[in-house]
Amino acid sequence: MKTAPRAQDVAALAKVSQSAVSRTFTPGASVSEETRRKVLAAAKMLGYRPNALARSLITRRSRIVALVMSYLDNQFYPLVIEQLSQRLQKAGYHVLMFIAEVDEEADGVLAEILDYQVDGIIMASANLSPRLANSCADLGVPVVQFNRVMEQRGRGRSKISSVTSANESGGRMAARLLVERGYRRIALIAGLENASTSIERERGFTDELAVLEMRLWNREVGHYDFHRAQEATQRLFAGDERPDGLFVANDHMAIAALDMLRQELNLKVPEDVGVIGFDDVPQAAWGAYRLTTVRQDLEPMIDATVALLCQQMTGELRPADIVVPCALVERATVRQRPPSTA
Amino acid sequence: MKTAPRAQDVAALAKVSQSAVSRTFTPGASVSEETRRKVLAAAKMLGYRPNALARSLITRRSRIVALVMSYLDNQFYPLVIEQLSQRLQKAGYHVLMFIAEVDEEADGVLAEILDYQVDGIIMASANLSPRLANSCADLGVPVVQFNRVMEQRGRGRSKISSVTSANESGGRMAARLLVERGYRRIALIAGLENASTSIERERGFTDELAVLEMRLWNREVGHYDFHRAQEATQRLFAGDERPDGLFVANDHMAIAALDMLRQELNLKVPEDVGVIGFDDVPQAAWGAYRLTTVRQDLEPMIDATVALLCQQMTGELRPADIVVPCALVERATVRQRPPSTA
């Protein structure tokens, strides 16, 4: 094995001081054009690169956090990438992207992730099997599930952390709003059947309907996908007796439903149908939609994720589950209905 | 300096074979629960981590590509992140995210980037000063500018590559469409004044207007920002004589303009004003907008970026500038106007 060339090798070859080599490779540092040219020529000849990864072998820190995601078409996730990247960057870490297959466990990319010697792992819109999640913890690599929780398959508590919205209580808010506003034939479009966000939002929604002595009129699955959510909407409204209220498990699908209802089915929202989404992505506020929705409060979610991860990367591995409250955002797709004539 | 513990140290302490250690840290490999437990305990005690970064010191490859971006609210960029990550992942690389300040040169993050020993750098929606870009090349780290080109400040050709759309010819298409459809008072909302995309699109647009013996009616700057694009729209339409056609330098701002025109100014699109954007982001096709636009062909742009970078990371540093053609996508915001009564 050939030893990597060192700064002193470059200095010797270029006939300059070692500090001149260091300054050449420090952006912004002062060095004469002549010296710089000599150093670069010597570095090129030797194949030298500054600040070798050796540093992370000494400190045993790569300052890399893996971010595993399975799909980005939901407009919630670009914000997550941007804000996580920014916040971790300030804390001295950078985000390494791993794209997993939608709707499958991300176990396949784990070997690759560990190969990069990451200091921590954030799983967002992706699931890791409990067994592998726990073996990361065993290796001293903290894992935070962002916006997902892991199913507990028995065997006590998981060794990994999670940061989520209060999805169940958000689902309850949606049900209460529709019922209070006078909607009576209430339908739902679920997301992915195995995603905790969808499961919890639906559970809260139907539980609250039961409390209010209502039953779910109808239900379809949109798989958190734009096109499939439009098909789900079509199926829900195909019969003679149509729903008059609709809860959609995220805004991405709710916007798809609004387009289908208005443009294809020629229904008026909120006059013929009330629609409520979940997330409050920026697009929900766009003038053509003005979607009433349940807001996931991204900033505290990001804060908690970065705090949890940093604490565990530098200190004790003590997993925690943090739940951030949701809030109702009323815009123009749900309104008070006239008293029923039934 | 303490030497990092090796697999054989773990095997010795755990009293198992070295292969058992290796299997314990290979996700999916077969190993008994008993052996696994012993190996993990020994690894934890020694602070051992598998597949040490040592590998990249030997091969001198980190398999990391830095992706530098300055803002993600434009819906074009989430697609870029997803597709670049996916394509590079297939080629054996992963994307490390760096967020730079909007509208500033990204020189500040360069030291950090080089510190990660990246094999290559992609600058998307961010600029690097020519001096620093060239010093990356001198270090043997290829740089590809994605969707931006560098200003040539004299001194011959840059050492870095670029992949862009044919922005100028796209701007020409937009001008031709509006004029052919009978629009006569044609205004423009520019993006960032120093971004090559905005400069080239505007140049193509005004050049083609001149060819068609028309002049730009009015012009405002939206800074590629949703809110500022709405303000720009308001200013353009504040006078008594309003524009009847509008070219907006990207879809993100064009959607903002449509909301302003329809919801606030009570104008009809395309009856009162024709609007054409640029990019063809997924939202441009949403039912409530159906925006006529100039399509940037993302897939060949990503293909070219990955191909260029891989070729330069593994072989010769030969910079190239690749320009991908645009295409007109006609939807519902521009239509044939009745013959002028003026």
Q: Name the residue range of residue B151's domain.
A: 62-165+298-324
Model confidence at A151: pLDDT above 50: yes
- Which pLDDT band holds residue A1 (cuts at 50, 70, 90)? very low
Give residue B55's pLDDT: 46
Q: Are residues A141 and A252 in the same domain?
A: no
How many CB pairs lie under 8 A apart between chains A and B?
180
A contact residues 104-163, partner B, Cβ 8 Å cutoff: 107, 110-112, 114-117, 132, 135, 138-140
Kindly state the average pLDDT of the residues A147-170: 79
Give residue A154's pLDDT: 47
- Provide the shortest C-alpha distance from residue A77 to chain B (in Å): 8
Q: Nearest chain A Cα to B129, which residue?
A: A27
Q: How far apart are CA A158 and CA A138, in angstroms?
A: 11
Tell whether B335 is covered by a domain: no
From B323, B325, B326, select the one nearest B161 (Cα to Cα): B323
Q: Are residues B160 and B303 in the same domain?
A: yes
Q: Are residues A284 and A306 in the same domain?
A: no
Q: Is A37 on the interface with B (CB under 8 A)?
A: no
Q: pLDDT: is B328 or A19 the higher one? A: B328
Tell whether B112 is covered by a domain: yes
Model confidence at A103: pLDDT above 70: no
Burial tier of A122 (Cβ tally within 10 Å: 0-12, 13-18, 19+): buried
Burial tier of B317 (Cβ tally within 10 Å: 0-12, 13-18, 19+): middle
Model confidence at A263: pLDDT above 70: yes
Read off the CATH number of the domain in which A44 is found: 1.10.260.40
- Provide the shortest C-alpha distance from residue B208 to chain A (in Å): 32
| CB distance A171 to A188 below 8 Å | no
The ranges of chain B with pLDDT < 50 are: 1-2, 52-58, 153-155, 342
Give residue B104's pLDDT: 63
Give residue B54's pLDDT: 47
Q: Give me the amino acid identity at A83.
A: Q
From A85, A70, A283, select the one nearest B71 (Cα to Cα): A85
Give residue A296's pLDDT: 96
Model confidence at A224: pLDDT above 70: yes
Within 8 A of B86 by CB-CB distance, chain A residues are 99
Q: Is B6 on the interface with A (CB under 8 A)?
A: no
Tell whether B329 is covered by a domain: no
Tell whether A74 is covered by a domain: yes
From B245, B167, B165, B152, select the one nearest B204 (Cα to Cα): B167
- Which pLDDT band holds residue A60 (cuts at 50, 70, 90)? low
Q: Are residues A122 and A211 in the same domain?
A: no
| CB distance A267 to A256 below 8 Å | no
Q: Find out whether the peptide bond into A270 is cis, omega within 30 degrees of 0.
A: yes
Give residue A49's pLDDT: 67
**Total domains, chain B:** 3
Tell whether B122 is covered by a domain: yes
Q: Are residues A185 and A284 in the same domain?
A: yes
- Out of A6-15, A249-258, A324-333, least confident range: A6-15
Q: Are residues B175 and B155 in the same domain?
A: no
The residues with which A279 forms a beta bridge, in sequence order, are A295
Q: Are residues B243 and B272 in the same domain?
A: yes
Quote the strand ranges of chain A, DSSP E: 64-69, 94-99, 120-124, 143-146, 161-165, 186-190, 218-221, 245-248, 274-279, 292-295, 321-324, 327-329
Q: Give me the amino acid identity at A150.
A: M
Tell whether A121 is covered by a domain: yes
Read off the CATH number of the domain in which B239 is found: 3.40.50.2300
Nearest to B72 among A78, A115, A258 (CB): A78
- State the DSSP string of A177-245: HHHHTT--SEEEEE--TT-HHHHHHHHHHHHHHHHTT----EEEE-TT-HHHHHHHHHHHT-SSS--SE
Give residue A155's pLDDT: 46
Give residue A156's pLDDT: 54
Q: How far apart are CA B60 and CA B5, in angstroms?
A: 21
CB contact under 8 A, A89 and B111: no
The residues with which B96 forms a beta bridge, in sequence order, are A96, B66
Q: Are residues B212 and B277 in the same domain?
A: yes
Model confidence at A57: pLDDT above 80: no
CB contact under 8 A, B287 and A260: yes
Give B254-277 pLDDT, tens digit per residue. Answer: 999 999 999 999 999 999 999 999
Q: Are residues A160 and A303 in the same domain?
A: yes
ipTM higher than 0.90? no
- Which pLDDT band holds residue A62 (cuts at 50, 70, 90)? confident
Q: Is B82 on the interface with A (CB under 8 A)?
A: yes
- Provide the shortest C-alpha distance from residue A209 to chain B (in Å): 31
Q: Are residues A14 and A107 in the same domain?
A: no
Across B12-48, b (16+ Cβ under 10 Å) vs e yields ebbebeeebbbbbbebeeebeeebbebbbebbeebeb
Tell whether B87 is covered by a domain: yes
Q: Are residues B32 and B98 in the same domain?
A: no
Q: Name, in order, each residue with C-beta under 8 angstroms of B317's C-beta and a sequence gap of 6 or more.
A: B137, B140, B142, B159
Q: Name, in order, each residue with C-beta under 8 angstroms of A84's C-beta and a sequence gap of 6 or more.
A: A67, A95, A122, A124, A146, A302, A305, A306
Q: Are residues B256 and B191 in the same domain?
A: yes
Nearest to B52 among A43, A117, A226 (CB): A117
Tell whether B341 is covered by a domain: no
Q: Write down the residue that tokens 């798989």 correspond to.
A: A223
Give residue A127's pLDDT: 74
Structure tokens at B335: 């239509």
